[in-house]
């Protein structure tokens, strides 16, 4: 076993509170309940717990500080660091609620769960979502394995995004697994999400681009009319307030429609002369 101070990432001058904080921080990271089927995390967690079993006990810490590992008895070639762990309770009975503070004091005393008990399997579910609901956000009601589950979809969710619903997977001895929802967002020919923004395109006649006027722009709530200033350039982007993702604007890119047949060429030349 490595130096317990090194395992917990603390110095030999660390206080009891420092030792406890270091252990809790590492326990949160490597606890097998949070790393199912991860043998490396389980091994790491046991090592952390062995180190804590020494340093949290004043007598054992003093023995280690003075003699190192030679100060401990050996049994079949291994040190029994976890004996009397936690003031008389074995390590396997250590309360995970004490690590994560999930439960009140009355509940905590009656809650014991072996970290070796496996949780149920996670469930993966593919869900199709129309474009407007993906932009606006919504709440969907799913029926998975005969269970009704309500899921909140945040505004602006991307195609392929994965939502996690805790403890809605399969049941196991150590609790339920999680539900992972993979969102498939349907495409819309008029809109596109880029960099967390909602974009659309619209077209105006050349004369409107030159002289100004108005134009219709599609939004997710229907068409609206916006003002077009004189001298609008092709590719110019207009921000339409509160018509995008959440309360953000819709970004509308303009293209200028050039007529294929031109009449009164002389008047047009006069118009274009600056």
Query: What is the pLDDT averaged over residues 22-44?
Result: 86
pLDDT reported for residue 217: 98
Q: Do domains 4-108 and 123-185 have the same CATH topology?
A: no
pLDDT reported for residue 65: 85
| Segments making up each domain of the chain, as ranges | 4-108, 123-185, 191-272
Query: What is the pLDDT averaged over residues 161-184?
Result: 92
Residue 113 has pLDDT above 90, yes or no: no
Q: Is the pTM of this model over 0.75?
A: no
Q: How far apart are CA 125 and CA 183, in angstroms?
A: 9
User: Rounded to whole angstroms, what are the CA distances from 35 to 41, 68, 76, 90, 147?
Assistant: 7, 32, 30, 22, 26
Query: What is the pLDDT averaged over residues 243-261?
Result: 92
Q: According to the CATH classification, is domain 4-108 in 3.40.190.10?
A: no
Architecture of domain 191-272: Sandwich (2.60)
For 123-185, the fitting CATH number among 1.10.357.10, 2.60.260.20, 3.90.1580.10, 2.120.10.30 is: 2.60.260.20
Check the CA dihedral 127-131-134-137 and report its sign.
Answer: negative
């Amino acid at each position: 076993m490595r130096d317990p101070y090194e395992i917990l990432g603390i110095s030999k001058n660390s206080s009891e509170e420092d030792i406890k904080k270091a252990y809790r921080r590492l326990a949160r990271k490597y606890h097998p309940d949070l790393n199912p089927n991860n043998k490396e995390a389980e091994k790491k967690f046991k090592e952390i717990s062995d180190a804590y079993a020494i340093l949290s006990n004043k007598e054992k810490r003093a023995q280690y500080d003075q003699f190192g590992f030679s100060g401990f008895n050996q049994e079949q070639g291994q040190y029994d660091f976890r004996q009397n762990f936690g003031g008389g309770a074995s390590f396997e009975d250590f309360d995970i609620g004490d690590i994560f503070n999930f439960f009140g004091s009355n509940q905590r005393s009656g809650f014991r769960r072996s970290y070796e008990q496996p949780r149920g399997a996670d469930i993966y579910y593919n869900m199709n979502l129309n474009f407007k609901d993906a932009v606006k956000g919504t709440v969907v009601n799913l029926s998975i394995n005969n269970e009704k589950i309500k899921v909140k979809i945040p505004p602006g969710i991307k195609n392929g995004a994965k939502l996690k619903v805790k403890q809605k997977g399969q049941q196991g001895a150590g609790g339920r697994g999680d539900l992972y929802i993979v969102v498939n967002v349907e495409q819309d020919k008029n809109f596109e999400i880029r960099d967390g923004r909602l974009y659309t395109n619209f077209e105006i006649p050349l004369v409107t681009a030159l002289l100004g006027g108005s134009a219709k722009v599609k939004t997710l709530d229907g068409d609206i009319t916006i003002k077009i200033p004189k001298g609008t350039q092709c590719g110019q982007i207009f921000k339409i307030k509160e018509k995008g993702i959440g309360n953000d604007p819709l970004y509308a890119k303009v293209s200028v429609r050039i007529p294929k047949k031109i009449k009164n060429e002389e008047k047009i030349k006069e118009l274009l002369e600056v």
